[in-house]
A and B are shown apart, each in its own frame.
Chain A
Amino acid sequence: MSKIKSLSDLKKIKEEVQSKMKLRENSDNPEQFVQVKVGMATCGIASGAKDTMKFFIEELELQAVDAVVTQTGCMGYCYAEPTVEVILPGKEPVVFGYVNKNKAEEIIDTYIKKGKLVDGIIPISFKTIDE
């Protein structure tokens, strides 16, 4: 990878990336992306959410999963930080607690790629059988 010495060098890298992106069939429809939201308030940051977020960005890219990784505030589950909300295309959001690197790996491999649920879900939204 070429290093940049000033921000105008960023333009060259952008052009390289753009030409590569055209090769990949990339849909502009955001509903087809996996959305990952990392809880990044004081509680999350103090528990290492920064590393978790960085890991998600790097790992999802390495595994070629089309995903958008963003930050969100505190969801009120400070005891279980870092918390991560994952929205698979067309599915209900699922929130995972205590997401360190190992847990993140498990979530990517099992939930995001195969769609199977893993341990450590915080039941935020759930429906009873009556509903």
Chain B
Amino acid sequence: MKTLSDHILDIIQNSVKAEATLIEIMVDFNKNKDLCTLKITDNGCGMNKETLSKATDPFFTSRNTRKVGLGLPLLKQNAEMSNGSFIISSEPGEGTSVEADFQLSNIDRPELGDVWNTIYLSLLGNENIELKYIHSTEKGRFELSSNEIRENLEGVSLQQKEIREAITDYIKNSIKEIQ
């Protein structure tokens, strides 16, 4: 995975598979602490201790279409390669939380990438899930909630060109302002 956005797009799918109704994505860039944090929390079915211990094993997956599961191991690898850490915690019936820390100035830290497209595509693909995106830096904070978007759209498709452009531009500009 080349960017954090790719990781986000990927990890969200785990939450979707776990039948989560709420997914919270938090991205924090802090130059003062030289730290970049990505945290994804869901209220899905969660994992028991045994499954949790195997979650970052690349040769473990809950699918049966293939025998490898690389989403979490790749994120862990990227975090550890950029002088960071990776924590995953889960409670059956409660949900799962994944946190990856990166050293912000590390040369191996993946760029954020086009997170506006990631968020937009995730909104489009998961109509029944409440998605929250929180982006913070030492300069400020930007929050986006899928419920708010849907309330304003009143059933009009997200796929409409004007709406697509408005949403992606809105996210892009809001992030730029606090960069």
Contacts and interface: CB of A to CB of B under 8 A. Distances in A.
**Do these two chains interact?**
yes
Interface of A: 1-5, 7-11, 13-14, 16-18, 21, 40-43, 45-46, 50, 53-54, 57, 61, 68-71, 73-76, 78
B74 interface: yes
Contact of A50 (B74, B121, B159): B121
Contacts of B24: none
B117 A76 contact: no
B148 A7 contact: yes
Contacts of B98: none
A45 B6 contact: yes
B1 interface: yes
A42 B170 contact: no
B160 A17 contact: yes
23 contacts: A1-B165, A4-B166, A4-B169, A7-B152, A9-B166, A10-B152, A10-B166, A14-B152, A14-B153, A16-B162, A17-B156, A17-B160, A40-B13, A42-B69, A42-B74, A50-B121, A61-B159, A69-B124, A70-B124, A71-B125, A73-B17, A73-B65, A78-B66
Nearest to A74: B65
Contacts of B170: 3-5, 7, 10
A51 B63 CA distance: 25
A50 B65 contact: no
Given A3-B169, A71-B121, A73-B65, 7 more contacts: A8-B152, A40-B9, A42-B10, A50-B5, A50-B6, A50-B114, A74-B63
B149 interface: yes
